[in-house]
Amino acid sequence: DQRHTLQPITEVKYKPGRGSERASTYGSEEPRSNTAFSWSPPDLSPGKEWHIQRMRNLRHAASFFPDTQAIIRDGIIKLERHRKNYDQEGLNPHRLQLLWWEFPPIHWEALKDGTRQNFLAKPPHSIQPNATMDGDMTQAAANFVDELMDLGVIDNIDEGLTILSNAPLFVVPKPGQEGQWRVITDALRGGQNSCVGQDPVFLPRIGHILDQICTQAATRRW
C-alpha cells in the first residue's frame, strides 16, 4: 500500500495530564505567523468555472433518476439560491440551500428528498413549555428562531396539521461573552431523546487523518 507521511514542521512539547513530559518533533520550518485568516469565494457567476462544474455534477447525478429533466430544473433553482448566500466579501447568508449532488452518490436520494429524524418509537404526545427566561433571554431565543426561519432551516407547520410534541427551548450564557446567550432545544424533556437510535460515530486517530490528507513523507517521534 502506498502511504502518505508528513514532512516535519515544528517542535511541540506538551504535558498530556500526569506523567513525564513528551516531545514531538516535526522539523525545522519557521514558526507559523499570526496572520489573520482570510478567504474569499470564487466567482460563482454562470459561465464561470465554479458554476460550470456544479452544473456538470448536477446533470451527472440527475441522469441516475427517472425524472432527469425535472431534477435538473429543480437543481438550477437550488443552485441559484445557494449562490445568493455569497458576495464578493464572502459568506452573506440569506436562504440556506444544500447542493445534494455535491455529496457522495450513496447520500443523493436522502439529501434530495429529505429524511426524517431517526425515531425508533413515536415520541409522546406532549407539549412542554419553554424554560423560564427573563426578558433578555426571551429576546435572544426569539431572535434565534426568527433567524432560522429566515434562513429556511425551520418553517411553520403546514395548514391543517397539529403539533403533537415539541422540544422546549432554554438558554445558557456564552462563556466570555457577557450578555450573549446560546439557545438550546431540550429534546430530553421533550421526550425525543428516548425515541431515537444512537447513530454510531467513528472517531479516527489523528495519525490516520494525517496519513490521508498529507502527500509528502513524514516522520513522527514521540
Q: How far apart are CA 68 and CA 43, in angstroms?
A: 27
**Of the candidates 183, 171, 169, 164, the residue with the CA atom closest to the CA atom of residue 119:** 164
pLDDT truncated to tens, each residue of the chain (222 aa)? 444 433 333 333 434 444 444 444 434 455 556 677 777 888 999 999 999 999 999 999 999 999 999 999 999 999 999 999 998 888 899 999 999 999 999 999 999 988 777 788 888 899 999 999 999 999 999 999 999 999 998 889 889 999 999 999 999 999 999 889 999 999 999 998 888 877 777 777 887 777 777 655 454 444
**pLDDT confidence of residue 198:** 74
Q: How far apart are the first and last CA of the chain?
A: 24
Exposure string (b/e) for 166-191, b if CB count within 10 Å is 16 or more?
bbbbbbeeeeeeeeebebeebbebbb
Q: What's the whole-model pTM score? A: 0.63
Instruction: Identify the bridge partners of residue 119 per DSSP, sorted by sequence position.
Output: 196
**pLDDT confidence of residue 144:** 94
**pLDDT confidence of residue 222:** 46
Q: How far apart are CA 69 and CA 62, in angstroms?
A: 8
**pLDDT confidence of residue 136:** 94
**pLDDT confidence of residue 138:** 95
**pLDDT confidence of residue 16:** 42
**pLDDT confidence of residue 214:** 61
